[in-house]
Amino acid sequence: MTDEIINWDNVFLQSETFQKNKPFQYTFVKNFLNKEFYDVLYSSYPEDDDSWIIPKDFGRSAKKRWFGEADPNSDKCSLDVEDSSLNESWNKFFHYIHSKEFLQNMSRFSNFEINKLKHFAFIKNGKGSFNMPHTHHPTEKKEDYGYNLTLLVYFAKGWKKGDPGGTYLASEEDEESIIFEPYDLDNSCVIFAESSHSWHGSRYMTQDAIRRSIQFTLI
Amino acid sequence: MLWNSLNLFITIFETLSVQKIEFSLKLPANAKELYDCVINFDNHKKAFPSQLKNIEIVENDGTKITTKETLVFNTYIGNTEINQKTIHERIFPNIKSEIIEGPFKNSKIDVVFEEPGEGTKVSCKIELSVSLKYKILSSVIIKKYKVILTSLLYKMNSLAEDK
């Protein structure tokens, strides 16, 4: 199954960059998914319906949807479940990111000991969406982190260079300190390590576009 | 002598406790429509249901509006609830707010909505005065103020554009 779903060669090519990047570990992987598999996921990305929610956090505006019963805010967050409303490819992908092969490869890529998937969400940003700079673990000790790696995979074609919406990485809690922002959002992936200063977010979208993505975390 | 030294120390400490931040944003909405959305305090509660626990208008003479609000800050030491009273002077394109009661008493927030061609240039100036009790949180609070004000402006821009 190795390259049927994820282009591992592309991921491992970024391993050294990820491990050496500062002020926290991060990288950007183009052509993250196998092209044929990506095309199927792209064309069957879930449409808007009652299963999407808009979180009420003050610092963000975007739509989210969980995978079946694996609600990140529940005790089922890490379960390898089926979502009958999604096709076989999405279910295959979800099962794969719980697999030993995937977790071992992510351990090899990051040089972290990765043991399981913690959370998964579909995230859709449109005109007016944003996510103010934040970190997931501002105060906790490293050993108490809920997860150690965050991945965002994009399913948005035709993104223009300079357009807001991709997840930026920043050195401070301020959009003026952005160190990286992706513009190729067609089958690409931002990966960053969790730390007290892993600031990230997405700039306010003023353009008529839809940024379709998935976010998942690993521990 | 001791009393004078103490007063001098307090004056210096309070001066050092004032933190300033200035920033500007370019937003696509019309300046007057955006201004009207921002000055409608019901919109603030809708935008920040968890962080703005309560806001009520206690006085309104058309130009000067006095509000009483309860803010919730999520800080390193947990959730901190803050009660304050603020006077907002509204003369388009300016909103000048001054906190008159609470731990940030004497803090000032000036926001200007200019229309340079298309959209709005919003310029914000925050002068945060922090009481001794909250001094330890001042650097966190000034950053949060910028994040909160920016987030509010984004949400109000979306509201103004949807009109």
Q: Per the omega criterion (within 30 degrees of 0), is the bond before A182 cis?
A: no
The pLDDT value given to residue A43: 98
Pairwise CA distance, residues A147 & A126, whole Å: 27
pLDDT per residue as tens digits for the range B53-111: 999 999 999 899 999 999 887 666 677 788 999 999 999 999 999 999 998 899 999 99
Pairwise CA distance, residues B21 & A108, whole Å: 44
Taking every pair of Cα atoms in chain B, the longest distance, rounded to a whole number of angstroms, is 63
Kindly report the backbone phi and psi dihedral angles of residue B132, in degrees, each rounded to the nearest multiple of 5, phi listed first: -55, -40
pLDDT per residue as tens digits for the range A112-145: 999 999 999 999 999 999 999 999 998 889 888 9
The percent helix, strand, coil of chain B (3-state, each to 5) is 40, 45, 20
From the CA of B9, how many Å to the nearest CA of chain A?
A: 32
Kindly report the backbone phi and psi dihedral angles of residue A126, in degrees, each rounded to the nearest multiple of 5, phi listed first: -130, -170
The pLDDT value given to residue B72: 85
The pLDDT value given to residue B6: 58
The percent helix, strand, coil of chain A (3-state, each to 5) is 25, 30, 50
Nearest chain B residue to A133 by CA distance is B147
Strands (E), chain A: 26-30, 60-61, 63-65, 117-125, 130-134, 149-155, 168-170, 178-180, 186-193, 199-202, 211-218
- Quote ipTM for the complex: 0.87
Please give the C-alpha separations between residue A33 and each of A14, A169, A192, in angstroms, as whole numbers.
14, 22, 18
The pLDDT value given to residue A212: 98
Decide: B92 and B30 in contact? Cβ < 8 Å.
no
Enumerate residues 128 to 157 of chain A having a beta carbon within 8 A of any beta carbon in chain B: 128, 130, 132-133, 138-139
Enumerate residues 39 to 78 of chain A having a beta carbon within 8 A of any beta carbon in chain B: 56-59, 61
pLDDT per residue as tens digits for the range B8-59: 555 555 555 688 899 999 999 999 999 999 999 999 998 888 888 999 999 9
pLDDT per residue as tens digits for the range A27-57: 999 999 999 999 999 999 999 999 999 887 7
| Cβ partners under 8 Å of residue B59, min gap 6 | B65, B66
Check A204 against B147: CB less than 8 A apart.
no
pTM: 0.88
C-alpha angle B93-B94-B100 in degrees, rounded to nearest 5: 160
Query: Which of B76, B148, B157 is nearest residue A58 as measured by Cβ atoms?
Result: B148
